[in-house]
Amino acid sequence: MSATATLKQAVKDVWWTWKGRSIANPPLPANPRSLLFVCLGNICRSPFAEAIAARRAQELSLGSLRYASAGLVARSKEPPQEAKAAAHGFGVSLDGHEARPMTGELAASHDVIVVMESRQMDQLHATYPVTRGRVFLLSLFDRDATGLDRYNIVDPFAGPLAAYEACYHRIDRAVWALLMAIGHAHRAAEKSAS
């Protein structure tokens, strides 16, 4: 990385550390039935998050959850080849996936809505007020992330395969932590009900 790129990254990290003080996820519902993953185009990040969540949920015995994904600006039809190849490395297939645009019906019909970038959280709240209290920033579940990465899972679109792989590693780690938190909230609710 060049000195200029390093300096730019350091400035972004400092800015996001300052801005991030006002960004937080709401409390998770005790017993969510559905998760909707949202990104910009619904061809890279959110369809991968949907697929990896469905697979990981089985490992955690959270099989009753329903998963979907959508894009705020879903223009392209299908994921790029690099996205498909990176997903296959995680045992997930994006073959046959077609981008789905975000709608008010999707917003209203899911208990937990998970976005990839902080501005997507703001956009959903503005466009679909019904989502307030149900939108979660996935990157906040990645406890190792700092600076810019703490509040954004950067879009790998048009990047090399390595960019998709790095992005998918972050999504996988954050989805695992999200599902662990949902499982914990579910068990705590069951315990207090009995």
CATH number of the domain bearing residue 38: 3.40.50.2300
**pLDDT over threshold 90, residue 13:** no
**Cβ-proximal residues to 112 (8 Å cutoff; 6+ apart), any chain:** 28, 29, 32, 34, 35, 36, 134, 136, 182
Q: Is 181 exposed, middle or buried (0-12, 13-18, 19+ CB in 10 A)?
A: middle
State the average pLDDT for the chain: 91
- Answer whether residue 98 is part of any domain: yes
Whole-number Å distance between alpha carbons of 113 and 124: 9
- Answer whether residue 18 is part of any domain: no
What is the predicted pLDDT for the residue at 11? 66
Q: What is the pLDDT of residues 108-151, one digit of tens each?
A: 999 999 999 999 999 999 999 999 999 999 999 999 998 889 99
- Answer whether residue 16 is part of any domain: no
**pLDDT over threshold 80, residue 188:** no
Active-site positions?
39, 45, 155
- Answer whether residue 6 is part of any domain: no
- Answer whether residue 111 is part of any domain: yes
- Answer whether residue 23 is part of any domain: no
What is the predicted pLDDT for the residue at 14? 67
Whole-number Å distance between alpha carbons of 36 and 102: 10
- Answer whether residue 152 is part of any domain: yes
In 3D space, the residue among 73, 80, 35 whose CA is nearest the CA of residue 54 turns out to be 35
Structural domain containing residue 164: 29-193
3-state SS, residue 7: helix
C-alpha distances in Å from residue 153, one per residue of 31, 95, 96, 173, 192: 26, 22, 24, 12, 35
pLDDT category at 74 given cuts 50, 70, 90 is confident
Whole-number Å distance between alpha carbons of 161 and 146: 23
Sequential DSSP letters for 69-86: EEETT--SSS--HHHHHH
Split into its structural domains, the chain has a count of 1
Whole-number Å distance between alpha carbons of 99 and 186: 31
pLDDT category at 3 given cuts 50, 70, 90 is confident
Geometric angle at alpha carbon 170, from 3 and 150, rounded to 5°? 65
Q: Is 29 exposed, middle or buried (0-12, 13-18, 19+ CB in 10 A)?
A: middle
What is the predicted pLDDT for the residue at 16? 63
